[in-house]
A and B are shown apart, each in its own frame.
Chain A
Amino acid sequence: MQEEKLLIVKNLCTSFQTPEGVVRSVDGVSFDVERGETLALVGESGCGKTVTSLSLIGLLADTATVTADVMRFDGKDLLTLDREQRRLVRGSGISMIFQEPMTSLNPVYRIDRQIGEVFTCHHPGMSRKEVHERSVEMLRKVGVPNPEERLKVYPHQLSGGLRQRVMIAIALAAGAPLVIADEPTTALDVTIQAQILQLLRELQQGSGMSIILITHDFGVVSQLAQRVAVMYAGKIVEEGSVEDIFRDPQHPYTQLLILSIPGIKVKRGGRLESISGAVPNPLRFPSGCRFHPRCPYAMEICRQKAPPEIEKDGRRVSCFLRGGEHAE
């Protein structure tokens, strides 16, 4: 019997109670993550990629309801854990690198306290001297120059790139085998982005951790991930290896998304593909396939029935164009 995958999620649904009604931000999402691999969740704003990751880590507000058929992490059933057990998984099991390092670091505490907290929480008996040593070591590991001095400064005294390195140090401090990186480089300049991506690759090679990379940038995906899941309106519409998805996207949404980015397949000055309309309001998702109002190939059946998921050659896609008309 082969070793169980690090993370298995089946039929995850997350909904929010709002004054206007129930918003089903994530609606039946299934995926898994192998040990040591990077899975990218890609999609435009509002597609539910961040809510998916927050559901895994249990960081949603009380107005949220999370249900799933299966949500297993490292052999543990995340659904049956109580609050305290859940808290222990956060940090030492699954940790998170947030997008905006300026708003996710606490502005009134120095860096040493924010990194040190991770060690004191997860290793209650650790001496202050050891906490300090481990903090310095962590900062050195993520490439912060003069780590001894940087521990004594406040977040606003660091540049954007350094702040993101500190965020990464905090996320990795407890040695979590799964790290969720939510748009880790979106707020950074390209040369700094290249540094951070290189750092994440090196850290992954060193420790064998798994990464769930959340991004809207296909360029970043190709730099870091082995597999991609494309999300649209709360569902995963297509999943496969990075090579397969870029070479031969199967879902019309993925195809148009790739063709709408300048510099990939369209030649300079040529007309970019665009997707008419906008991402639907999660209060009123369209019937049938949620992409049908914007899809150039929409058929009658797409308006009526949700397309079944078709699995083939290690990839899956939910679209009637790829078969499934007679599935039911």
Chain B
Amino acid sequence: MQNNVVCSIENLKVYFPIKAGLAQRTVGHIKAVDDVSLAIHGGETLGLVGESGCGKTTIGRALVRLNEPTAGKIIYNGQNILELKGDELRDLRRKLQIVFQDPYSSLNPRQTVRRMLSEVLTVQMGMDQKQALERTGELLAQVGLSPAYAPRYPHEFSGGQRQRVAIARAIALQPEFLVCDEAVSALDVSIQSQIINLLMDLKEHYTDMTYLFISHALNVVEHISDRVAVMYLGRVVELSETEELFGHPAHPYTQALLSAIPMLAGREEREPIVLKGEVPSAGNVPPGCRFHTRCPYATERCRTEEPQMRECAPGHFAACHLLK
């Protein structure tokens, strides 16, 4: 696999203030993303998994500049995208696109699909109306919709079709990098598999397109990703190639997460690790290792000292004191 880093996230922190009282004074911070560093290689699909509230969506949104980080850098092709403004930012938007989870709320209900797509093409690609309409038809065909659907409004489509429209909008600008934020989570299984296949086909069609695939559905992430990063409470706790991660999870949280996927009959029996308790609030992060409150192996050291990411096998990183 190639090792050209196209996007490197360095010590990214995204904090949201907690305001309280009449004066709305800031009384604390939700540390949604708390010091995350991650390198994404060109052409790969990096899966980002974790439970709700772990910060995975916030990272995806920070990448396309939909929320402003508190600290850190995101270097994309040598540029720190957090410093871009004006025309430079607009150019960046063309290269980085996002598909959201809910196809019901992410499409403008008052715009036809034709208008939605041709607007993107005329504004960003400088096409004239006629070219834009032609390209709209091509795009719809590419995501498996009939070009005859172009004059329709979003409410005239089913959930799976809407998600196809959202994908068409995202790939209209031929982006180099696509963030898929729970892009298949709201869909029924038979439709979900259609969209997963579509995303994999697009990748073959536009070679070198890089995906950041954010999802809580571990089986989907295992299927589609080359590498997977596991997040817990604002931190990446483990990162590895997919087969290595699913075969030899190193971090106790990853082990518990994987054993919690309900398995189908016929697969090998595993002793399930059922974690006690719940994810602590990101507004009140436990000291030391963030996972120690739920970890079955926690020691005194885990309660006081925060573990750093270490390479436990070639290309396999995890943040746990128990690892050599």
* Bound Cα distance from A275 to B52, whole angstroms: 29
Most buried by A among B194, B265, B266: B265
B71 at the interface (CB under 8 A from A): no
Pair A278/B196 contact, Cβ less than 8 Å: no
The residues in B between 176 and 190 inclusive whose CB is less than 8 angstroms from any CB of A are 188-190
Chain A window 260-299, contacts with chain B (Cβ cutoff 8 Å), 1 for yes, 0 for no: 1111101011011111001100000000000000000000
Residues of B within 8 A of A133 (CB): none
Q: How far is the CB of A217 from chain B (nearest CB, A)?
A: 7
Residues of A within 8 A of B51 (CB): 189-192
Pair B223/A272 contact, Cβ less than 8 Å: yes
Q: How far is the CB of B221 from chain A (nearest CB, A)?
A: 9
Closest to A218 in B: B264
Pair B190/A257 contact, Cβ less than 8 Å: yes
* Bound Cα distance from A162 to B278, whole angstroms: 9
Q: How far is the CB of A103 from chain B (nearest CB, A)?
A: 17
In the complex, which range does the number of interface residues on chain A fall in? 35 or more
Most buried by B among A191, A218, A242, A257: A191
Chain B window 202-244, contacts with chain A (Cβ cutoff 8 Å), 1 for yes, 0 for no: 0000000000000010111011100000000000000000110
Residues of B within 8 A of A65 (CB): none
The residues in B between 159 and 193 inclusive whose CB is less than 8 angstroms from any CB of A are 160-161, 188-193
* A272-B193 CB under 8 A given contacts A190-B260, A278-B160: yes
Pair B266/A274 contact, Cβ less than 8 Å: no
Pair A194/B274 contact, Cβ less than 8 Å: yes
Q: How far is the CB of A157 from chain B (nearest CB, A)?
A: 13
The residues in A between 134 and 160 inclusive whose CB is less than 8 angstroms from any CB of B are 159
Residues of A within 8 A of B188 (CB): 44-45, 216, 279
B323 at the interface (CB under 8 A from A): no
Q: How far is the CB of B126 from chain A (nearest CB, A)?
A: 36
* A195-B216 CB under 8 A given contacts A189-B52, A190-B260, A263-B222: no
Pair A222/B265 contact, Cβ less than 8 Å: yes
A311 at the interface (CB under 8 A from B): no
Pair A161/B278 contact, Cβ less than 8 Å: yes
Pair B272/A260 contact, Cβ less than 8 Å: no
B124 at the interface (CB under 8 A from A): no
B197 at the interface (CB under 8 A from A): yes
A197 at the interface (CB under 8 A from B): yes
Pair B191/A278 contact, Cβ less than 8 Å: yes
Q: How far is the CB of B180 from chain A (nearest CB, A)?
A: 14
Residues of B within 8 A of A271 (CB): 197, 200
Pair B260/A260 contact, Cβ less than 8 Å: no
Q: How far is the CB of A21 from chain B (nearest CB, A)?
A: 19
The residues in A between 180 and 236 inclusive whose CB is less than 8 angstroms from any CB of B are 189-195, 197-198, 216-220, 222-223
* Bound Cα distance from A14 to B88, whole angstroms: 59
* Bound Cα distance from A314 to B218, whole angstroms: 34
Q: How far is the CB of A159 from chain B (nearest CB, A)?
A: 5
Closest to B195 in A: A274
Chain A window 9-51, contacts with chain B (Cβ cutoff 8 Å), 1 for yes, 0 for no: 0000000000000000000000000000000000011000000
Residues of B within 8 A of A258 (CB): 264
Pair A247/B266 contact, Cβ less than 8 Å: yes
Most buried by A among B196, B223, B257: B223
B106 at the interface (CB under 8 A from A): no
Pair B192/A260 contact, Cβ less than 8 Å: yes
* Bound Cα distance from A201 to B231, whole angstroms: 29
Residues of B within 8 A of A217 (CB): 262
Residues of A within 8 A of B52 (CB): 189
* Bound Cα distance from A278 to B189, whole angstroms: 11
Pair B189/A195 contact, Cβ less than 8 Å: no
Pair A262/B260 contact, Cβ less than 8 Å: no
Chain A window 159-170, contacts with chain B (Cβ cutoff 8 Å), 1 for yes, 0 for no: 101100000000
Residues of A within 8 A of B274 (CB): 191, 194-195, 198
Pair B219/A261 contact, Cβ less than 8 Å: yes
B261 at the interface (CB under 8 A from A): yes
> Which 9 residue pairs are nearest across A and B when measured between Cβ atoms?
A219-B262, A262-B223, A263-B219, A260-B193, A194-B260, A272-B193, A189-B51, A275-B190, A44-B188
A219-B264, A222-B264, A268-B223 known, 10 other contacts, Cβ within 8 Å: A162-B278, A189-B52, A190-B261, A194-B259, A222-B265, A242-B265, A258-B264, A274-B194, A278-B160, A278-B161
Q: Give chain B's interface residues, CB within 8 Å of chain A.
A: 51-52, 158, 160-161, 188-194, 196-197, 200, 216, 218-220, 222-224, 242-243, 256-257, 259-266, 272, 274-275, 278-279
List 25 contacting pairs A-B, 8 Å CB cutoff, sorted by A: A44-B189, A189-B216, A189-B279, A191-B274, A192-B51, A194-B260, A194-B262, A194-B275, A195-B274, A219-B264, A222-B263, A222-B264, A223-B263, A243-B265, A246-B264, A247-B265, A260-B193, A262-B219, A262-B220, A263-B223, A263-B261, A264-B219, A268-B222, A274-B190, A274-B197
Q: Give chain A's interface residues, CB within 8 Å of chain B.
A: 44-45, 159, 161-162, 189-195, 197-198, 216-220, 222-223, 242-243, 246-247, 256-258, 260-264, 266, 268-269, 271-275, 278-279
